[in-house]
Amino acid sequence: MQTLVKWMCLSLFLFVGTTAFAQDPEEIESEEVTATEEPEGGAIDDVVKKEIMGERRVLAYQPVRESDVFWEKRIWRVIDVREKMNLPFAYPEQPFFKILSDAATKGDLPVYSVDEDGAKFKKRLSTEDVLSMLSKSDTVITFDPETYEEKITIVNNDINWEDVKRFRIKEVWFFDKETSTMQVRILGIAPMIDVRDNEGNFRFEKPMFWVYYPHARELFARHRVYTMGGNMNATISWDDYFEMRYFASYVYKESNVYDRKLEDYIPPSVDLQMESERIKGEIFNWEHDLWQY
C-alpha cells in the first residue's frame, strides 16, 4: 500500500512539473518574433552595448598647499594632430575638436576668451559667442533661372574639424616638497584655426578659445580615445590620455620676465626646435640635480 502511494505521488509530481514548464507553440513563436525585432534606437554596432566609459569618474588631484610649492614654471606647448603620436586627436568618428565644440555649444563646458584676461580664465564666452566662432556667414550671389534676377543669399558654413590641425596647451610644472616630486598640471587647452584671405590663401593661425582643463576632466573621462595599438575595447579616456601624457608636443613659450615667445627672440629656423628641447631638458635636469651628491 505504501509503495502504491509513493508511485501515485511521483506521478502527480511529474505531471505538475511538465505542465508548469510546457509552453504553447504559439507563445514560443511570438517570443522568437519579439527577439528578432530591431531594438529601440537602432541595432548595436558591437558585441555588447558599451556603457562603462559613460559612467566613469575622474580621480581628483591630490591637494597641494601653497607653502609646499618649492619651485614653479609655466610652459606653453603646441600639439600637432598630424604627428603620428597625435593621430587620435583626428579620429574621424569622434575627433577631439568636435568633443570640445559640441560641449561648448550646449553649455556643458565653459570656454574663455583668447585675450589676456581670457588666457587667465577670467573672461568667459557666451554660447552665442561660441556659435559665431564655429559658423561663418558668407554672402553668395545667385541668379533666378527664370527671371535672371540677381539675389544675395547669406550662407552659414560650419567650421570643419579637419581644419583644426593644432592645439595649444598651458601647463604648470612645480616641485612639491611635501612629496619631494616634480609634478605637472594642465591648465588649459585651445584649438587653433587657420585664418585665410578672400582668395583662400593662408595668412596666420590663431586660437579660437581656451578650455579650462580641470573643469573639462569630467567630460574627457566619458569619451574614449582610439589607441594606436588598434584595440577597440581599450578603456583609455581623454583624461587618461592627457594625464599619462601620451601626446607629442613642442614648447613655444616659457614663463619669462619679458613674457616673450620663443619666436620673438630666436630666428624661425631649426633653432626653435633646439630651444624647445633645451627647455624640456632644463626641467628634467632641475629635478635630477636635486638628488645629486
Residue 234, pLDDT score:
73
Question: What is the per-residue pLDDT across 188-201, written as a single tens digit (0 to 9) for each?
Answer: 999 998 877 777 67
Q: Is the pLDDT of residue 5 over 90?
A: no
Neighbours of 204 (CB within 10 A): 7
Query: Residue 58 — very low, low, confident or very high, per pLDDT cuts 50/70/90?
Result: confident
Structure confidence at residue 32 (pLDDT): 47
Q: What CA dihedral angle connects 244, 280, 79 and 101, to 10 degrees?
A: 60
Determine the pLDDT at residue 293. Answer: 54
**pLDDT tens digit sequence for 166-224:** 999 999 999 999 988 899 999 999 999 887 777 767 777 889 999 999 999 999 999 98
- Identify any residues that bridge with 51 across adjacent strands, giving them in sequence order: none
Burial of 137-162, coded b for 16+ CB within 10 Å and e otherwise, reads eeeeeeeeeeeeeeeeeeeeeebebe
How crowded is the C-beta side of 131, counted as CA atoms within 13 Å? 7
Exposure string over 83-114, b if 16+ CB within 10 A, otherwise e:
eeebebbbeeeebbbebbbebbbeeebbbbbb
pLDDT for the residue 117: 57
127 membership: H or E segment, kind and range: helix 127-134
State pLDDT tens for residues 231-271: 777 778 999 999 999 999 999 999 999 988 988 888 776 78
Asked whether the predicted pLDDT for residue 153 surpasses 90, the reply is no
**Reported confidence tier of residue 72, pLDDT bands at 50, 70, 90:** very high
- State whether residue 195 is helix, strand or coil: strand
* pTM to 2 decimal places: 0.77
Q: What is the pLDDT of residues 83-120, one digit of tens each?
A: 999 999 999 888 999 999 999 999 889 999 988 655 78
